[in-house]
Structures are given as C-alpha cells and as structure tokens.
Structure 1
Amino acid sequence: MIDYWPLIGILLVVIGFALKFNPMLVVTVSAIVTGLIAGMGPVEVVSTFGKAFNDNRIIAIVWIVLPVIGLLERYGLQQRAAALIRKMKGATVGRLLLFYLIYRQATSAIGLQSTAGHPQTVRPLVAPMALAAAEQQHGELSDDEAESVKAYAAATDNVGLFFGEDIFIAIGSIVLIQQILSTYGYNLSPLHLALWAIPTAICAFLIHGARLLLFDRRFARRGR
C-alpha cells in the first residue's frame, strides 16, 4: 500500500508560502519533516542535505557571490565605476554597452554564462557606468532618460546572453531543440545546431549594436 504521509511536506510548503513565511525556512522545514515521516533518521536527513548541496555546488556559488556584490555596493562599487567612466572623455552610452555586448556574447558562446548577468554586473557596474557616460556627455538626465539608459543596459545583457549561449553545444536549449526536432524525424547533432546559431548571433549583434548607436544619436540631438 502506498504511503501518502510524506506528502505532508508539500502541504507545509503551500501553507508556509500562503502565510508569507521565509521561503528558505519553509522549504528546509518541509524537507526535514518529509524525511522524518518517510522513516529517515535525523543524521540521514542532514546527510541527504549535504549530498544534495555537494552534488549541486555550482548553484551554491550564486549564494556566495551575491553577498559579496552587496558588500561591494555598500562600500562604493557603483560610485567607483561611475568615476572611472567620467575620466574617459570619449565614453558614450552606446559605445560602452556595445563593448559589453561583445563581452557578453563571447563569454556566453564558450559556456561562461554566469560570469555576468543582471545582479552580478548590470546593476552594480554596467548601469552606473552607462549613466555616468550619459551625464558626462549630455549633463543631468531626466528620470525618463535615466530609466531608458538602465533599460538599454539590461536589454544588452539579455541579447548577449540569449543569442550567445546557443553557440555553446553543452547548453540546455541546444539539447531541447535537438530533442524536439528528433521527434519530427530531424536528427541533428548539437554541433550542427550550434554552428547554425552563429549567423543568428551575428545578426542580433548587428541589430542591437545599431540600436545602441542610434540611442547615442538621440542623446546627441537632445543637447542641441
């Protein structure tokens, strides 16, 4: 006979989220309760947690990096990044973000997707540097203009990652595409799919790069 008692852990998750308790605490308590009801001892439950943490330690890196970024921001990371850009007289929003687009696509294409991103680079570095470049070239920005600069910084990261990562053959999206095509009788290797992602990535770079340069021109006309 099937024992449904361990499913109480799911009920605890639902109740905890409904009552707006701390999600990490809710999930941890639910997992411990589930293990105990299933007949596992306390030591075995903790051991299972440790094994899962060790097997998925790449995920744990995020929880190590984010507090470091938060501390750097608290002690002036954004201000130092903006000050660096203000020393570069030729820096503009479009040129800066174009350089970041190249970096984001190139690193994503070789599997280094986690080296950049919205929490790691856009918020603490790229967006403040882009704002500083815009203010240096065109003076104080309105709220709408500042939000546009931030949006372009975020969009640049999205475009670079989305169209760069498919060039890397060991990425989930490539496997998903391969499996879907195979169900319809199209048997393609991951390498084949990755190679055909290169023209798309080039087009994305040219199109978004042109948008960034046009964004610069709109700012230039603003000052006239």
Structure 2
Amino acid sequence: MEWIKLIGIVIIVLGFVFKFDTIATVIFAGLVTALVSGISLVEFLEILGREFINQRVMSIFFITLPLIGLSETYGLKNQAIHLIKKMRNLTVGRFFSVYLIIRDISGFFSIRLGGHPQFVRPLIQPMGEAAAVTKAGKPLAQEDRDDIKAMAAANENFGNFFAQNTFVGAGGVLLIGGTLEQLGYDGNFAKIASASIPIALVTILVVSIYNHLFDRKLDKKYKGRSE
C-alpha cells in the first residue's frame, strides 16, 4: 500500500481543478500525506515549522522595498514613461519589443514597473495601439485592437516570468539556493541568477521575432487601405 503515500498529489490536482485556495490545498495535502505515512500531527507541524525557518532567507526581499519606494517617489516611473514617449517612429511590435527589454532590465534590478492593472493596461497597451493606428493610417478593426491588448499582456508576462530570477535576491533564486544547500549542493545565489540571464536573452530574441511577425501581419492587412 505504498502507493497511498501519493495521495497528496491527487489532493493538489483536485484542489487546482476545483480552484480551492492554493496554500490551504498544499498544506492539507502535506498533512494527509504525513498521516498516511505514519507521521503524527505534532511531527508534521515540527517539519512544517523547521522548513519555514530554513527558508527564511526568502524574506530578504523586504529589504529592497524601501529602496524601490524611494526610487518611485523621486520619479523613476515618471522618467521611464517619459523615455518611452520620446521614442518616435515605432511600430506596435517594435514598441512592445522595447518594453520587453525595459521589463527585463527592471527585473534584473528588481524594480517593479507596476504590472498589468497599474502600468500595462492604462499605458503600454494604449501606446501600442496608437503606434498601430499611426502606422495603419486609419482606425483598427476590433479584432486587431483585441490582439494588441493580448500582445501587451503577453510581453509583460514574458518579461516578468523569464527575467525575474536574474536578480540575485529574487524569491525564486533564494528558494532554489536554500533548497540546494539543504540537499548538500552548492546554493550560490549569484550563480543561480547568472544561469537565468541566457534564458532572459533568448526570450528577448524569440518574442521580438514574434512581435515583428505581428507587425508584418498588420502591414499586410492595412497596406494600401490608408485614408
């Protein structure tokens, strides 16, 4: 009956399928797995507490919050917006590629630009749409406007996901390093962050090609249709 110890995996899958609270699902799955494996409730709580203490290094990111707050207070975000607005003659694809690069650089320094609701939706997406309208010379079809919204969100996600671990103090880097050290391996945070840089660079290349193909799609559709 050793297979019963895998019940935790089933619980996690069901929790995700039925959209239960993620943390509660994982803890419940761990508790059930511990009980069917002969580990008492007290022992389970001891293990949970010990692992939480062992991974306390992840809380280091709180130290960066005052620095980020001061930077934004003194106009870092406003200067970034001003820089983007100064870039002329950009197509929507090129604009999104530039934003992707800026997003990756901000991830390298652990600077949050604001995310989807605060930055992408009210600023990046409208600027991308304006670039497309200028290039087309006429209003865009609704389906193309929807595609631009999706492209703006996708570039934000690509930049955030693939560049977040390039910062040595990122939560993912600290978690990986702490886990490796527990297992007896080299958990050098700088090496882990350095290994993430090539992935971020490849992402810039691949997504920039994708953005360029989107430009060509719009050019083909609106070429010769300008009023």
Give the TM-score normalised by the residue count of structure 2. 0.57
- What residue identity is the alignment partner of 1:158? N
Partner of 1:124: 122
SS of the aligned residue for 1:180 comes to helix
Alpha-carbon contact 1:110-1:165 (below 8 Å) kept: no
Q: Which residue does the alignment assign to 1:171? A: 170
* C-alpha deviation, 1:174, in angstroms: 0.5
Partner secondary structure for residue 166 of structure 2: coil
Amino acid at match of 2:196: A
Aligned to 2:160: 161
User: 1:1-224 residue pairs with structure 2 within 5 A?
Assistant: 58=65, 88=88, 90-112=89-111, 114-138=112-136, 139-224=138-223
TM-score, normalised with respect to structure 1? 0.58
State how far apart, in whole Å, the 1-side matches of 2:122 and 2:218 are. 23
Give the drift of 1:185. 3.9
Equivalent pairs counted in the alignment come to 146
Take 1:153 and 1:134, find their aligned partners in 2: how far apart are those partners?
A: 12
Deviations 1:50-107 (A, max 9, x none): xxxxx99x59x99xx9xxxxxxxxxxxxxxx9xx69x94x221011111111111001
In 2, Cα distance between equivalents of 1:127 and 1:96: 10
Q: Quick one: distance in 1 between partners of 2:151 and 2:113?
A: 19
Instruction: Give the Cα–Cα distance (whole angstroms) in 2 for the partners of residues 143 and 180 of structure 1.
Output: 48
Cα offset, 1:135, TM superposition: 1.1
What 5-or-longer segments of structure 2 have no aligned partner?
Answer: 1-61, 73-81
Cα distance, 1:199 vs. partner?
A: 0.7
| Cα shift at 1:201 | 0.7
Aligned CA-pair RMSD: 2.7
Identity %: 33
